[in-house]
Structures are given as structure tokens and as C-alpha cells.
Amino acid sequence: MGKKKPRPTPIPPEPLGSLFDAHTHLWSCGARTRDEVRAIMDRAVATGVGTVCNVGDGIEETRQAVAATQWDERVVAAVAVHPTKSQQLTEEVRAELTELAGHKRVVAIGECGLDWYWLDKDETTADKDTQIEALHWHIDLAKKLDKPLMIHNREADEDLMRELKSAGEPGTVILHCFSSPIEVAREALDRGYVLSFAGNSTFPANEHLRQACAEAPAEQILIETDAPFMTPVPFRGARNEPQYIGHTARELAKARGMDAEDFASQTTINARRIYGL
């Protein structure tokens, strides 16, 4: 049996003047104390990252995401229960999420949405009806609090777009880690949604994601790491964190025919506007 190919060791990019990581998971990156959060943010700042939106995928990580906003002024948060865990959205959890969502440093409701990929791969994944009901609950919370809705979508394009429309979207919908076909991108942009691009947009096979970024109006684009996942080329497969977002920014700037500094600045302006900062 052959040896596994060693994972590459990521190298931080040259600094860009202004970067905003619109979606990251500091808890999953191993930053679980005040000192660890500050250390990961110090590394990010060294490459130009001024702020990150820290996201939880379950209630425990969501609590920690909000706590991190108190430990470091460079961190804001989004709160939700991930669609694959929608069965955990009990009345008690809904009440807690509603309270957390009202926190002044919570800037979005997410990541919520639909995930059909795991339905037949993990028996603990919530079924379709449970996921759809949870999505509607999160939509209502976003509308009630007038905060952006941050969407996770995996292999559920048609159903997701239908449910968002039928439920009546909040003022801003962010399609996080956008990974869908170009036709979905075009429909989403026509609806006024924001496309948030992660490191997978740098993978050679994903020319359609670079095309989506190239076609999107400048004000409807965010960039993110989705760390510790989606490490950009040339470090795909390594553990990701916010300091590496500049690699993604440069690749997407190239796709748009823009200077990397200008692209980074535009996406930071977008994030601060969308998140109300």
C-alpha cells in the first residue's frame, strides 16, 4: 500500500492592504481560548486581514463564536445551527440562538441552509423536511432582526432557491462558499444575493466559480476562508486559517482583471456594509 501524499505546508501570502474574511470557524481551527483567538488573528493581521466573521455550525461552537467577539475586537460572529444538525434545533436551542443573535457583535444569521450531500452518507444527518423547516426558522429570525442570512448549500440548488423565494428572503442573502453552477450564480445575482467565494474557487477544475466572480457586480462579492477547510491553491489539503485568504483574493482579482489591492479593498468595503460595521 502506497504512502499517503504529504500535505503541503502553507506559506502566508504577501500582505494586501485591506482584507475581510467573511466566513471562518476559529473554534474548528483550534482557537478555543482568548490567547489562541488573539494569536490566530495576529497572524491574519500580518497578511492584511483586519476583521473576520466567526461562525459556529452547532450550538456549542456558536456560543464560542460569540464569546470570541469579546476576546478580540477584530472578530464578529454569525449564529445558527448547521443544516445537517437541524434536528438539534429544539425550542431551548431556538430561544438561545434568538438571544445570541441579538448580541451587538453578531452580524449575521448563519450558517443555515440545505445539505443533501450527507443524507445518504451519514445517518446522523437531518432529513430533508427537518432541514427545510429549520431553514424557514432561520429566515424568519434574520428578517425579525434585520440581519443578513448566511446560507450553506451542498447539492441542493433547486430546492434551496425555491425555499428562499417561497419564504420571502430577508434584505440580504449570502451564499457562503459558493460552489454551484454558473446558472445558479446568475439567478442568485439577479435576485440580489451576495456570492461569497472561498479557496475552492482557486482549484483548477472550478473555472465556473472564477467565471461567476468575474460576472458578479462588484458590490455582490465577498471572500472567505471557511477555515479550517478549503485551503486555496497551491496549498490545497492543508489546514486553513484566515491568514491565507490573500491567495484566494489574488486569484479572484485575476479572474476579474483587477488589481489585487483594489479587489481586496472592494470586498472589505462590501463586508463592512453587508455586516453593518
**Binding-site residue positions for a divalent metal cation:** 23, 25, 111, 152, 176, 226
DSSP characters over 127-172? PHHHHHHHHHHHHHHHHHHT--EEEEEES-HHHHHHHHHHH---S-
How many Å apart are CA 61 and CA 209, to the nearest integer? 29
Cβ–Cβ < 8 Å for 238, 229 = no
Query: Pseudo-torsion of CA 125, 126, 132, 136, nearest 10°?
Result: -100
| Binding-site sequence positions | 23, 25, 111, 152, 176, 226
How many Å apart are CA 108 and CA 92, to the nearest integer? 20
CA distances from 260 to 17, 45, 63, 129, 195 (A): 10, 17, 35, 43, 18
DSSP H or E run through 24: strand 19-24
Among 186, 190, 198, smallest CA distance to 150 is for 198
